[in-house]
């Protein structure tokens, strides 16, 4: 009889939701009389009072149910705020996580007290693994973690063996200690008194394990401050085998990325490293699937890698001339038995600049590819768009990259320069060499999302997509201490390149971005007004004093780096913004740091200095925009702004020429609102459950 586990909402079982009191029961009180150091980032959608706590508990409480396909149902355990239920590979045990009171008003639910229990599959309690206290004091430094057991999981290669990690530095990344993390393992139900076993010790922060069998597993660790990442080879079932480092490299150095091991499905439905065999060869081989970053762009590959000797053989590689191909999955992973290289079968994807992604089955030994999809072009009107990955140099010698898109049929010698939309997002690096490496491929299909800047190819714009804007802090230097200087230098180099090519009109270049890209946009209009005619800033944060305990990749607090916080904030330079700026924000933005209030206050500051600006707040929208009405309105607002202030504004040329003659320190007066702004319109270490998806915002 097949059984299913079901998490039934408990609200159906215990009456109406709590009613909000007509008057408060008393003042809202938060206290730190113990003088604890509690630094938290600007989390959104937190509980605010006792009523919120009751409401959260009411809607989050559920009852686990054991249901059979014959229709019988049986309650399983007590009602609780369950967050996960994970059966063991042999289906004999359940790993059940829940959260409980006391809740918090300053951190999200992922940091509430957490209880992890072990149950049998038929509903019998085995033991409590941990009951972690409220975690309000996790340090803000990157790589800081919660104290106690974390990352509790089942070994994918065993029937019912648990493993987890415990920090040795109190969770504080600033504490120097060795080891920093320890990985432990133990059978689910240690009937014979098996003790907790130390599996591996790490000096960096634990980053996960890829399991294979008792003779092979890969353990990952990394450290953000130095960008160091290491991969260890361990033999979990061999007591005498010493761990050894397989890879030790910089996470920023994409050229040295060896790839990731291909995984195979087991009869239990878990995934383990696919260990490969070669005829008449007793070596231990795995398949490494890599992006293949090179100075010419990404050329994905599949290597047959000898774990023992470190030697490798490239058995598959993407086309380099016209197409971009990737290995999607291993298809020859039989439920049982060894895998042989001459019986290998993989699923690959293939695309080009103008041809939609298609999927193929490729089989060894002849490597014959069989196409299994025939997806049509999603937007045939732009099928013949022109795409080029361009390289250019910043004044300090850093190599930069961008993707230049031109409309179908465009000829610069006949049609002349076009209006241009510059759309980007800055990134932080520790070295100039890594910052200058090429990421991406010139042969990738040009996917166009619902609010993508590429839509304006249909309006005869040149699009400079993703020009790299590296903010570099080498050695002990902090990258953001020279943020404005490096930002402007990167933008100047990009603008100079497209103007020099004759594809962009120097007086008709608009700048835009989403989130940290919106922050970039506002800063460029404040500090490089001679480069751009207008800006579009979506869902950004503009006043860093409102995110005092760090933001983006900044670890220092406002009090540790006050000058940097102020100088980076375009809010503090609102009096310098002389170009039209369109500000768009979701009314319910839940992304840490980008409160909707940021756009409200930035708009007020701009308006107070007579800047030509417009604020659009989208009802019910979060950090990204989902509703059809919202998306269509964002497109309309953006198109209107670009047509008015980039393509057709009579003031554009005069305003740009004026800015070129004015030094940054002399910019005091904003463009008068009579330039035509139209009517004002008033209205994202992980915590808890979350979903990471490929952004449609680019």
Q: Could you give the residue numbers annotated as active site? A: 515, 589, 623
DSSP 350-392: EE-SSS--EEEEEETTTTEEEE---PPPS-GGGTT-EEEEEEE
- Distance, CA of 506 to chain centre: 33
Helix axes 516-527, 483-500, angle to 10 degrees: 80
Residue 643 DSSP label: I
Residue of 189, 196, 193 lying closest to 127 (CA atoms): 189
Q: Give the tokens for residue 354.
A: 């103008």
Q: How many residues does the chain have?
A: 698
Q: Give the tokens for residue 158.
A: 């065993």
Residue 455 DSSP label: G
d(CA 415, CA 422): 20
- Tokens 């070129």, residue? 660
Are 367 and 340 in contact by the 8 Å Cβ rule? The answer is no
CA–CA–CA angle 135, 136, 142 (5° rounding): 85
Are 602 and 585 in contact by the 8 Å Cβ rule? The answer is no
Q: Which residues of 555-589 are buried (b: 16+ CB within 10 A; e: fewer)?
A: bbebeebeebbebbbbbbbbbbbbbbbbbbbbeeb
Are 139 and 173 in contact by the 8 Å Cβ rule? The answer is yes
Integer CA distances (angstroms), 536 to 455, 494, 596, 605, in order: 15, 18, 16, 17
DSSP 213-236: ETTEEEEEEEETTTTEEEEEEE-T
Residue 341 DSSP label: G
d(CA 279, CA 340): 8
SS3 label, residue 698? coil
Are 332 and 345 in contact by the 8 Å Cβ rule? The answer is yes
């Amino acid at each position: 009889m097949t059984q299913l586990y079901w998490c039934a909402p408990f609200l159906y079982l215990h009456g109406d939701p709590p009613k909000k009191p007509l008057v408060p029961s008393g003042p809202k009180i938060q206290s730190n009389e113990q003088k604890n150091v509690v630094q938290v980032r600007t989390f959104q959608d937190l509980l605010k009072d006792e009523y919120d706590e009751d409401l959260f508990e009411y809607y989050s409480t559920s009852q686990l149910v054991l249901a059979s396909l014959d229709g019988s149902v049986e309650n399983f355990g007590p009602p609780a705020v369950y967050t996960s239920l994970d059966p063991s590979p042999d289906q004999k045990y359940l790993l059940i996580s829940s959260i409980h009171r006391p809740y918090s008003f300053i951190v999200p639910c992922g940091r509430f007290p957490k209880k992890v229990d072990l149950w049998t599959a038929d509903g019998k309690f085995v033991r409590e693994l941990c009951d972690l206290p409220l975690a309000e004091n996790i340090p803000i430094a990157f790589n800081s973690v919660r104290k106690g057991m974390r990352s509790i999981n089942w070994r994918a290669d065993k029937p019912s063996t648990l493993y987890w990690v415990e920090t040795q530095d109190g969770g504080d990344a600033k504490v120097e200690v060795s080891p920093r993390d320890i990985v432990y393992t133990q059978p689910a139900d240690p009937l014979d008194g098996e003790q907790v076993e130390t599996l591996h010790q790490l000096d960096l922060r634990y980053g996960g394990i890829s399991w294979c069998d008792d003779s092979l597993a890969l353990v990952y660790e990394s450290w953000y401050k130095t960008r160091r990442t290491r991969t260890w080879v361990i033999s979990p079932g061999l007591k005498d085998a010493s761990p050894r480092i397989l890879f030790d490299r910089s996470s920023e150095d994409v050229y040295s990325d060896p790839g990731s091991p291909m995984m195979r499905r087991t009869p239990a439905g878990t995934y383990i490293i696919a260990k490969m065999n070669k005829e008449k060869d007793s070596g231990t081989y795995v398949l490494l699937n890599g992006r293949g970053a090179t100075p010419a762009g990404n050329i994905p590959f599949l290597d047959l890698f000898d774990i023992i000797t470190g030697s490798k053989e490239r058995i598959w590689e993407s086309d380099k001339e016209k197409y971009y191909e990737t290995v999607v999955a291993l298809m020859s992973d039989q439920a049982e038995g060894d895998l042989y290289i001459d019986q290998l079968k993989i699923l690959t994807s293939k695309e080009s600049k103008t041809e939609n992604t298609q999927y193929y089955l490729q089989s060894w030994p002849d490597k014959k590819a069989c196409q299994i999809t025939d997806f049509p072009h999603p937007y045939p009107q732009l099928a013949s768009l022109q795409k080029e990955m361009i390289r250019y140099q910043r004044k300090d010698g850093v190599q930069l990259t961008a993707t230049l898109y031109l409309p179908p049929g465009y000829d610069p010698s006949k049609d002349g320069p076009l209006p241009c939309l510059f759309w980007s997002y800055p990134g932080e690096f520790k070295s100039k060499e890594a910052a200058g490496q090429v990421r991406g491929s010139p042969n990738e299909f040009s996917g166009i999302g619902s609010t993508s800047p590429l839509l304006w190819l249909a309006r005869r714009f040149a699009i400079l997509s993703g020009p790299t804007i590296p903010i570099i802090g080498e050695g002990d230097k902090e990258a953001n201490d020279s943020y404005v200087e490096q930002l402007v230098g990167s933008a100047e180099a990009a603008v100079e390149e497209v103007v020099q090519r004759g594809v962009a009109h120097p007086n008709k270049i608009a700048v835009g971005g989403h989130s940290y890209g919106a922050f970039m946009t506002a800063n460029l209009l404040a500090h490089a007004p001679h480069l751009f005619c207008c800006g579009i800033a979506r869902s950004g944060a503009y006043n860093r004093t409102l995110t005092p305990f760090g933001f983006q990749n900044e670890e220092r607090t406002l009090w540790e780096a006050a000058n940097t916080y102020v100088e980076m904030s375009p809010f503090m330079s609102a009096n310098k913004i002389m170009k039209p700026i369109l500000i768009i924000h979701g009314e319910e933005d839940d992304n840490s740091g980008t409160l909707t209030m940021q756009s409200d206050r930035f708009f007020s500051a701009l308006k107070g200095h007579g800047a030509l600006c417009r604020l659009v707040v989208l009802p019910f929208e979060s950090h990204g925009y989902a509703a059809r009405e919202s998306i269509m309105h964002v497109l309309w607002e953006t198109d209107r702004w670009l047509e008015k202030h980039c393509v057709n504004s009579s003031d554009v040329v005069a305003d740009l020429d004026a800015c070129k003659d004015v030094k940054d320190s002399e910019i005091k007066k904003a463009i008068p609102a009579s330039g035509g702004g139209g009517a004002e319109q008033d209205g994202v270490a992980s915590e808890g459950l979350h979903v990471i998806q490929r952004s449609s915002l680019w």
